[in-house]
Amino acid sequence: MMKFRFRRQGTDPQREKIKQELFAFNKTVEHGFPHQPSALAFDPKLQLMAIGTKSGAIKIYGAPGVEFTGLHKDTTAVTQMHFLPGQGRLLSLLDDNTIHLWELVAGPPREVGGVKREGMVCLQEVCSYSLPGRPGIESCSATRVTVLLLLRSCELLCVGTEGGGVYFLDLPRLSLKDGQTLLQDQVTQSLPEDYRCGKSLGPVESLQEHPQQPGKILIGYSRGLVVLWDLSTRHANHLFLGKQQLESLVWERSGNSFVSSHSDGGYSVWAVASGNPYTHQPVSSSIPYGPFPCKAINKILWRTAQSGSPVLLYSGGMPRASYGDRHCLTIQQDKEHVTLDFTSRVIDFFTVHSVELEKEFDDPSALVVLLEEELVVIDLQTPGWPSLPTPYLAPLHSSAITCSCHVSNVPPKLWERLVNAGKAQQGQQHTHRSWPICGGKNMAPLPKQQELLLTGHEDGTVRFWDASGVALTPIYKLSTASVFHTDCDPSDDPQDPSNDPDAQQEEEWPPFRKVGCFDPYSDDPRLGIQKISLCKYSNKLVVAGTAGQVIVLGLSDERSDHLVDVSVVDLLQDREGFTWKGHDRLEPRLKPAPFPPGFQPLVLVQCLPPASVTAVTLHAEWNLIAFGTSHGFGLFDYHRRNAVLARCTLHPNDSLAMEGPLSRVKSLKKSLRQSFRRIRKSRVSGKKRVQEANAALAEQEEVAPVQRRIEPRSADDSLSGVVRCLCFADTFLRDGTHHGPTLWAGTNSGSVYAYALEVPGVGLGRVCERSGAGEGSACAEAVLGKEIQLMHRAPVVSICVLDGRGKPLPDPYEASRDLATAPDMTNAHSVLIASEEQLKVFSLPKVSAKTKFKLTAHEGCRVRKVAMVVFSSTAQEDYSEHTLVCLTNLGDMHLFSIPGLRPQVRYDCIRKEDISGIASCVFTKNGQGEEKKSHEGQNTARDCSKVGFYLISPSEYERFSLSAKVLTEPLCSIHLDRPPHFCTLNVESLPLSLPGQTEEPPSTLSSPLLDTPLDSPLSCADLTLDSTGELTVEDVRDFLTTVDEAENNLKNIKEEEGRSTGILIN
């Protein structure tokens, strides 16, 4: 064996060098909204916002394009975060009761793509601390941290605990100031007898520093007591004897009063007078949503404004019975009162306001609310408090993402029209104030080209995102629901839902206002988008969904009312013996519907049976679309509105295909049912019963170690008819001299069907059409040319036709509009068929195997996603290579040369347990057009590259790059005024020493961080090679086999039964 290993690696150093110049793997940016956020912090000096998550990640955002990420060593939830203002430092409190200090640090300089670059600024943990258990008290919950307060001086951290003690930590060392700890007993002593009642004061709920007098802090205990504590004299200045359980405290700016919020849904204003050390009653107290019992007000903010009365903001406090389940935040100023009604839980919120001590008023300019699923920003300076669109942290998952598609190098014309359509949509809803969180500077140059990411959602919408920058911003949203007649009344215009309800809500109390766009509820799961294909040159879009619907849309700048043509294509083709047991098809709307500017539906094709569409492809030049389901595939001429072909791919034994959406749950249910039936059957005879019990026992004992059955794939495996990929190509199918349009389809059972197409106006047909045969009369035709059955029967993941030079054929229109080099039609073409197990290139038209690579046999991994990519070299300007990129079920990326199929490099990309990540991966493709550009101009670095996206959580895309030539990160800089002495302390507590920082105190860290103009490949209707997001059975098979095995075991035991009863011995 070693012999072969050596031979395989016996590599040519020359080639190795070229590879290094071509390929490099980098994860670059995370797009979208952090999964499960749990904490929020804001640095008013640097204008940076930090979000902590339940998995221990910290993300810092500033101006669009400025992003930093850090990850705690333990994946524990971040419960609180505080910036050390202006220092680029951050304190985080984790759920495991540890406190961590983070810093923005410049990393060592690196070499990226042959270019020396400054070190990346990254967020690094500097030290951590956890409170020791209080001596004498066993339960450590007494020292569980409930609240942190960072004094303005940034030198002292006050830590409130569950036990009611307040501890003081030196910063930035994070060392406990021993003698200073304030235990509850000290406070209790000074309490009047009647208030004490012998009860403890409860945990510290809130700590607030006096806004005017440093060294004085307000300590609020859960039971309701609030103490104004002087740190220097270590003495209680004032006691506020609140009776209501306390939730939060906030100072008024002047320091003359403060506000407390309570668990009964009320808040109180207390005056701080210097005379009497005790205050028994607040100045005023109110329960805004009373008189019926209300939920607690978790957090309250009191902001003074120059314009008039103070702004009061608080979360919660809803009437328990009627609106107890709402997630609300109230803004009140004078008579104005708005209850923001969110769709997910409020995690935390803050206001952006002036912090300079000289200023007399807070003058809040914006309210930033972190919700569990999105970030909402409210403009507090514009009357009516409208919401601001967020330039990043877009809730990608506002409805669950079901598929995605990337289009690079979008033509400017299309881009402009999309942006306009999007603007028309947003219209009145948002103000145009600038984004309030603007820390740091994005130094990344403007993207050279526009990139689009299209996401399909469960609610039938397709969202268009600007993926050219670090931040993924929404451009335009397309809803396909209006094509159908759905339960929810389609008459109310989805355009502006805000107008109507507002009017009605005038009298409603509380005055709710729906805010945010996260909406996890889908009206009809059948509307879900499964596949998307866009032709960026002809502006045609094909969207296919869960109920077998395929919609062809065209871009229009005008509003239009029209009826959508509907065609039904029966994919079963009279195949008998099948009845569809799944969902019904969607009912098309019969009346003309108004369609706003943007993509407007032209034709609706509905597959029968209405199984989920598993593959779709578009050839705008030929006016053809092809679509496949678990039953077969069809070809449709959307120009002439007629079905050209329908082909059933079902295997006669395939029963699963009839069970509706491709859910494995059903088959699981079925197999369980069968198992039970088997058991029940055998209970009939007494003797059998004993055997059965034995068998069950044997099963239990045997299933315990995970087993895998070794059997070749058989022809009648379930779901063998699922069409996995479709592809149009102008190539040689029938003979070696005449090329013409062809359609290729690959199925789950390793079958490939190739059809020769007659398209009016193309190829052979061109002559007759030009001679006046007329468009109407000529119809596209499809003739079966070849059928290929792959011997190993593995699902066909992708098909791609290579031209005479072994390069993939260009996309439609690219050659004819001179956007790409024309394909070589003189030499023999070949077709690359990628199955789950192997990659194989066949010559055309003879279809004889030329080269192959048996990936599974050699590596033990299966192909999940495949794409053709052009990589250009960092060293040689004009050198590029076509490469096959393939993502396997183990989450690694393999790169192969084509057509030789020689393995080039391998990178670990996604964890293999992350099935949804692997399933959602999309690749961008690269076109030759961009290459050309690079020859002409100075645009050297970022033209030819290759990226991909995959979902790291339901709401986030990770972006990665495979190209060595591309600068992977954008540049951003942040000006810090960090005290120079800062890091020279206690070396022990600073395991990560910071080279160079001591010399240049106010450091400007400039970072090549997440960039985005990363590489922008260009591609057109992109992804000829499928790579979109829904989970198929294949994706989860690894995780289901255990169940299968259990069933198989049972089966086998049954088989053995007849032979002997001694099955327990094995």
Partner 1 sequence: MNKNHRVPSNRSLSAVEVKSKFGAEFRRFSLDRSKPGRFDEFYGLLQHVHRIPNVELLVGYADVHGDLLPINNDDNYHKAISTASPLLRLFLQRKEEADHLAFGTDSLTRKKNTVLSAVLLRPDPNRKKPPVIISLPKDFRPVSSIIDVDILPETHRRVRLYKHGQEKPLGFYIRDGSSVRVTPQGLEKVPGIFISRMVPGGLAESTGLLAVNDEVLEVNGIEVAGKSLDQVTDMMIANSHNLIITVKPANQRNNIVRSGGGGGGAASGSSGRSSDSGASYYGYSSPGGIGAAASTPSHIIQNFHPEELESDEDDEDLVIEAGGEAELIPCAPSASYSMPSLPRYEPHLNLRTAAAAASSGSLAMERRSLEEDGTVITL
User: Helix 1033-1057 and helix 664-682: axis angle, to 10°?
Assistant: 10
| Residue 781: CA count within 13 A, CB half-sphere | 9
Whose Cβ is closer to partner 1: residue 830's or residue 873's?
Answer: 830
Contact of 296 with 317, CB cutoff 8 Å: yes
Residue where the block lists tokens 């069409």: 723
854 binds partner 1, rule: CB under 8 A: yes
Residue 517: exposed, middle, or buried by beta-carbon count in 10 A (0-12, 13-18, 19+)? middle
Q: From the list 672, 690, 822, 857, which residue makes contact with partner 1 (rule: CB under 8 A)?
A: 857
Q: From the list 532, 794, 867, 915, which residue makes contact with partner 1 (rule: CB under 8 A)?
A: 794
Cα 55 to Cα 59, 79, 911, distances in angstroms:
12, 11, 16
- CB 648, min distance to partner 1, A: 7
575 binds partner 1, rule: CB under 8 A: yes
Taking the CA atoms of residue 676, residue 677, residue 679 and residue 685 in that order, the dihedral angle to the nearest 10 degrees is: 150
- CA dist., res. 692 & res. 108, Å (int): 67
Q: From the list 493, 496, 775, 787, which residue makes contact with partner 1 (rule: CB under 8 A)?
A: 787
Whose Cβ is closer to partner 1: residue 227's or residue 790's?
Answer: 790
Q: Which stretch binds partner 1 (CB under 8 A): 122-130, 589-597, 851-859, 944-952?
A: 851-859
652 binds partner 1, rule: CB under 8 A: yes
> In the numeric block, which tokens belong to residue 738?
């005449």
Contact of 746 with 799, CB cutoff 8 Å: yes
570 binds partner 1, rule: CB under 8 A: no
Q: From the list 62, 765, 785, 810, which residue makes contact with partner 1 (rule: CB under 8 A)?
A: 785
> In the numeric block, which tokens belong to residue 984?
């020279």
3 state DSSP class of 481: helix
Q: From the list 110, 902, 911, 935, which residue makes contact with partner 1 (rule: CB under 8 A)?
A: 902
> In the numeric block, which tokens belong to residue 23?
């390929």
H/E element, 71: strand 67-71
Q: For residues 947-976, which are near partner 1 according to CB under 8 A?
A: none
852 binds partner 1, rule: CB under 8 A: yes
Q: From the list 858, 984, 992, 1000, which residue makes contact with partner 1 (rule: CB under 8 A)?
A: 858
Q: Which stretch binds partner 1 (CB under 8 A): 125-133, 362-370, 409-417, 780-788?
A: 780-788
How is residue 772 annotated by DSSP? I
519 binds partner 1, rule: CB under 8 A: no
Closest of 859, 902, 864, 865 to residue 881, by C-alpha: 902
Q: Which stretch binds partner 1 (CB under 8 A): 335-343, 540-548, 666-674, 709-717?
A: 709-717
901 binds partner 1, rule: CB under 8 A: yes
Residue where the block lists tokens 């034709």: 603
Q: From the list 16, 716, 818, 908, which residue makes contact with partner 1 (rule: CB under 8 A)?
A: 716
Contact of 813 with 928, CB cutoff 8 Å: no
Contact of 424 with 504, CB cutoff 8 Å: no
848 binds partner 1, rule: CB under 8 A: yes
Q: From the list 193, 711, 878, 936, which residue makes contact with partner 1 (rule: CB under 8 A)?
A: 711
- CA dist., res. 978 & res. 976, Å (int): 6
H/E element, 694: helix 686-703
- CA dist., res. 725 & res. 864, Å (int): 12
Whose Cβ is closer to partner 1: residue 648's or residue 768's?
Answer: 648
865 binds partner 1, rule: CB under 8 A: no
Q: For residues 1035-1054, which are near partner 1 according to CB under 8 A?
A: 1038, 1041, 1045, 1052
Q: From the list 321, 684, 710, 987, which residue makes contact with partner 1 (rule: CB under 8 A)?
A: 710
Whose Cβ is closer to partner 1: residue 969's or residue 1035's?
Answer: 1035
Whose Cβ is closer to partner 1: residue 825's or residue 847's?
Answer: 847
- CB 4, min distance to partner 1, A: 4
15 binds partner 1, rule: CB under 8 A: no
Q: From the list 786, 946, 965, 978, which residue makes contact with partner 1 (rule: CB under 8 A)?
A: 786
* 160 DSSP β-pair partners: 147, 166
- CA dist., res. 920 & res. 956, Å (int): 11
683 binds partner 1, rule: CB under 8 A: no
- Contacts of residue 47, defined as CB under 8 A and 6 or more positions apart, other chains included, come to 62, 63, 436, 437, 438, 439, 440
Number of chain positions touching partner 1 (CB under 8 A): 68
Whose Cβ is closer to partner 1: residue 795's or residue 929's?
Answer: 795
11 binds partner 1, rule: CB under 8 A: no
* 755 DSSP β-pair partners: 743, 784
Contact of 927 with 819, CB cutoff 8 Å: yes
634 binds partner 1, rule: CB under 8 A: no
H/E element, 746: strand 740-747
944 binds partner 1, rule: CB under 8 A: no
Whose Cβ is closer to partner 1: residue 460's or residue 899's?
Answer: 899
Whose Cβ is closer to partner 1: residue 572's or residue 586's?
Answer: 572
Residues forming the site for partner 1 (CB under 8 A): 1-8, 575, 648, 651-652, 702, 705-713, 715-716, 783-792, 794, 837-838, 840, 842-843, 847-854, 856-862, 890, 900-902, 1038, 1041, 1045, 1052, 1055-1056, 1059, 1065-1066
